[in-house]
């Protein structure tokens, strides 16, 4: 993406540009001022030129932080560099450095900290709720420009329909992933003696984006005092981390986690150090006198060879303790929170693996996933209780990974006194070309309904999408998804376990997979044998 005359210090907007801004309704040099009209918008760092799509204005590829390159690799993000002139905001920023995945192609871009804004056209007369989307991808892949999972519509996370029909401002953000975003090491922590922590650079990117929203979204007609963070998969986990993180306090006011919580065990910085050290040794920096400087000289492509599996840790700063310990103490941002998962989460994660067709193969797969716990898992999920052993495997893995872990976070949030709304999404993917995969209501299937990109929408699917958008945006507006004649959605109560079920017919269910989730809660609890939510567990699967 071409940058327009960046300068290292905040630059004064040229007279001609200022006059142009005044002529088009951009009359306040500070983002905290009046709502600006048209597609030329003045931000704290400079002017951006967007485009109009239907009833929405779209501004793409706006930098919210300085490029994390060179000496800034592995460092916390710093504010964006102001620019002179007009920056064309008509193309997405590049995906952050990552290997290829089922959704995202390989990228070697480190200059990737950009966000996108959709806002109604014409400009609203009063500030609107803001919804900030955090993409998924396991914190190892993904970007704000990804297609909706599994190509549902082949569309990226497009905020146009929500902005155009629901009167909200939608923001989507990039953040560093894999080892570029989650690389803990004592040598990096030691670079800042006043704040000696490392390992959650990607979460810090998200916090920086939320600060940008606070300081700039008013120019687009958004209300910085009414921000909802929402995300799916890793994005849902990250939403939960922000609920728990002291550094995110006050930057958002509602939260939505689609398939993901954060109250199961999280590695500590000390535990994660060995993985980082292995990478350092592999790229030839193990014996360097200045390990961070050496790491910053390693080409992106070579680091990606060792990307592996990365993710957030308990670093003592972004996450000062295990999230479940923070929830138990009530030391979290007590905002209204929607959480939920999909009926068939596990089918997605078995794509590309050999199908199990016999009970012996099923038990062998359970041992591969769960080790010594396999017999206990098989007792809760007997192959004979499902049409095929593959179905039992998908259910067990999906429940362990997402369905029951999400419920665990909902229970702990409710116990902490937070207003919680729980859901299940059970509508099978309506694409004939994906029918042979038998994915059903798999991981990510609900995203297309939230963004309104189900292709082509049958009357039933269009109705379900409209209903979900209504719940999501009413929640963003006032912290309660109810209203508009919709099926009532009660607050979550762990004793009765009520949740809304999203299908062609929306209804209320209770006690959803109660036996299975009770079993997995015991597994999660076993990771914290001392009960303090901090000590390393034993026998984790």
Euclidean distance between CA atoms 406 and 513, whole angstroms: 12
Domain 323-526 listed as CATH 3.40.50.20: no
What are 355-359's contacts with CB under 8 Å, separation 24+? 355/390, 356/389, 356/390, 356/393, 357/388, 357/389, 357/390, 358/389, 359/383, 359/384, 359/389
Q: What is the pLDDT of residue 433?
A: 85
**For residue 188, what pLDDT band results from cuts at 50, 70 and 90?**
very high
Confirm whether 172 is a catalytic residue.
no
Residues 348-362 have pLDDT tens digits of 999 989 999 999 999
The model's pLDDT over 32-51, given as tens digits with 9 standing for 90+, comes to 568 999 999 999 999 999 99
**Is the pLDDT at 152 greater than 70, yes or no?**
no
How does residue 24 score in pLDDT terms, banded at 50, 70 and 90? very low
pLDDT of residue 104: 86
Confidence of residue 13 (pLDDT cuts 50, 70, 90): very low
Least confident window among 138-152, 203-217, 264-278 = 138-152
443 is catalytic: yes
pLDDT score recorded for residue 397: 98
Are 65 and 107 a contacting pair, CB within 8 Å?
Answer: no
- Position 309 scores a pLDDT of 85
Ordered DSSP codes for 472-502? HHHHHHHS----TTPPP-PPP-TTT-EEEEE
For range 140-159, the mean pLDDT: 82
Is residue 233 flagged as an active site residue? Answer: yes
Check for a shared fold between 15-232+267-304 and 323-526. Answer: yes
- End-to-end, the C-alpha distance of the chain in Å comes to 43
Say if residue 9's pLDDT is above 60: no
- E strand or H helix that includes residue 270: helix 269-282
Question: What would the pLDDT profile of 360-375 be if each residue is shown by its tens digit?
Answer: 999 999 999 999 999 9
Burial of 88 (0-12, 13-18, 19+ CB in 10 A): middle
Answer with the residue of higher pLDDT: 441 or 539: 441
Counting residues of the chain whose pLDDT is more than 70, the rounded percentage is 90
Select 15-232+267-304's CATH number: 3.40.50.1820, 1.10.275.10, 3.40.190.120, 3.30.390.50: 3.40.50.1820
| Catalytic-role residue among 172, 233, 365, 409 | 233
pLDDT at 313 over 50: yes
pLDDT bracket for residue 541 (50, 70, 90):
very low
Quote the mean pLDDT of the chain.
Answer: 91
Pairing of strands 56-63, 114-120: antiparallel
| Pair 444, 259: CB distance under 8 Å | yes
| 1 has a pLDDT exceeding 60 | no
The active-site residue, picked from 232, 273, 333, 345, is 345
CA–CA dist 161, 165 (Å, integer): 6
Domain residue spans in the chain? 15-232+267-304, 323-526
Task: Give 253's pLDDT tier (boundaries 50, 70, 90).
Answer: very high
Res 15 pLDDT > 70: no
Structure confidence at residue 528 as a pLDDT band (50, 70, 90): confident
The whole-angstrom separation of Cα 151 and Cα 409 is: 29
Q: Please check the confidence at residue 461 and state whether its pLDDT lies above 60.
A: yes
Q: Exposed, middle or buried: residue 173 (CB in 10 Å: 0-12, 13-18, 19+)?
A: buried
Confidence check: pLDDT of 165 > 80 = yes
Stronger pLDDT, 127 or 308, i.e. the higher one: 127
pLDDT at 142 over 70: yes
Task: Give 433-480 as a DSSP string.
Answer: GGGGG---SBTTTTHHHHHT--SSPPHHHHHHHHHHHHHHHHHHHHS-
Rounded Cα–Cα distance for residues 40 and 532 (Å): 53
- Assess whether pLDDT exceeds 70 at residue 291: yes
In this prediction, residue 26 has a pLDDT band, given cuts at 50, 70 and 90, of very low
Model confidence pLDDT, tens digit, residues 378-435: 999 999 999 999 999 999 999 999 999 999 999 999 999 999 999 999 999 988 888 8
Distance, in Å, from the CA atom of 54 to the CA atom of 110, rounded to the nearest integer, reads 33
Kind of pairing, strands 128-134 and 40-43? unpaired
Q: What CA–CA distance (Å, rounded) separates 462 from 453? A: 9
């Amino acid at each position: 993406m071409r940058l327009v005359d960046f300068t290292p210090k905040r630059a004064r907007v040229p007279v001609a540009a200022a006059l142009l801004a005044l002529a088009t309704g951009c009359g306040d040099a500070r983002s905290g001022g009046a709502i600006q009209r048209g597609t030329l918008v003045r931000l704290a760092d400079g002017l951006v030129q967007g485009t109009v799509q239907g009833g929405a204005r779209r501004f793409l590829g706006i930098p919210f932080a300085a490029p994390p390159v060179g000496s800034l690799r592995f460092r916390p993000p710093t504010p964006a560099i102001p620019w002179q002139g007009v920056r064309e905001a008509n193309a997405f920023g590049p995906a952050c450095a990552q290997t290829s995945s089922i959704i995202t192609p390989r990228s070697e871009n480190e200059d990737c900290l950009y966000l996108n804004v959709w806002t109604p056209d014409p400009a609203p007369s009063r500030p609107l709720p803001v919804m900030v989307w955090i993409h998924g991808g396991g914190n190892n892949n993904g970007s704000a420009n990804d297609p909706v999972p599994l190509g549902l519509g082949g569309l990226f996370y497009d905020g146009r329909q929500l902005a155009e029909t629901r009167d909200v401002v939608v923001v989507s953000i990039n953040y560093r992933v894999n080892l570029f975003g989650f690389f803990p090491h004592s040598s990096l922590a030691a670079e800042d003696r006043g704040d000696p922590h490392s390992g959650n650079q990607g979460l810090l990117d998200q916090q920086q984006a939320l600060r940008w929203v606070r300081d700039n979204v008013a120019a687009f007609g958004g209300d910085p005092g009414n921000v909802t963070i929402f995300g799916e998969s890793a994005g849902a986990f990250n939403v939960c981390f922000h609920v728990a993180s002291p550094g995110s306090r006050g930057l958002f006011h509602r939260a939505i986690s689609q398939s993901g919580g954060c109250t199961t065990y999280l590695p500590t910085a000390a535990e994660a150090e060995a993985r980082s050290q292995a990478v350092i040794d592999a790229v030839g920096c193990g014996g360097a006198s200045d390990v961070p400087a050496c790491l910053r000289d390693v080409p992106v492509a070579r680091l990606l060879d060792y990307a592996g599996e990365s993710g957030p840790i308990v670093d003592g700063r972004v996450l000062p303790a295990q999230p479940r310990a923070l929830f138990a103490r009530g030391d979290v941002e007590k905002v209204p929170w929607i959480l939920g998962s999909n009926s068939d989460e596990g089918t997605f994660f078995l794509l590309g693996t050999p199908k199990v067709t016999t009970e012996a193969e099923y038990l062998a797969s359970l041992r591969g996933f769960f080790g010594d716990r396999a017999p206990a898992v098989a007792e809760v999920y007997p192959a004979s209780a499902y049409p095929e052993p593959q179905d039992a495997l998908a259910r067990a893995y999906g429940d362990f990974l997402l369905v029951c872990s999400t419920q665990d976070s909902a229970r702990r949030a409710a116990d902490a006194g937070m207003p919680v709304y729980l859901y299940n999404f059970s509508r099978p993917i309506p694409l004939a070309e994906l029918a042979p995969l038998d994915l059903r209501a798999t991981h990510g299937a609900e995203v297309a309904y939230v963004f309104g990109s189900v292709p082509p929408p049958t009357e039933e699917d269009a109705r379900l999408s409209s209903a979900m958008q209504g719940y999501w945006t009413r929640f963003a507006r006032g912290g309660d998804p109810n209203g508009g004649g919709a099926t009532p959605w009660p607050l979550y109560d762990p004793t009765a376990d009520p949740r809304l079920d999203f299908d062609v017919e929306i209804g209320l269910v209770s006690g959803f997979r109660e036996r299975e989730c009770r079993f997995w809660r015991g597994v999660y609890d076993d990771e914290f044998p001392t009960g303090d939510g901090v000590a390393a567990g034993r026998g984790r699967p």
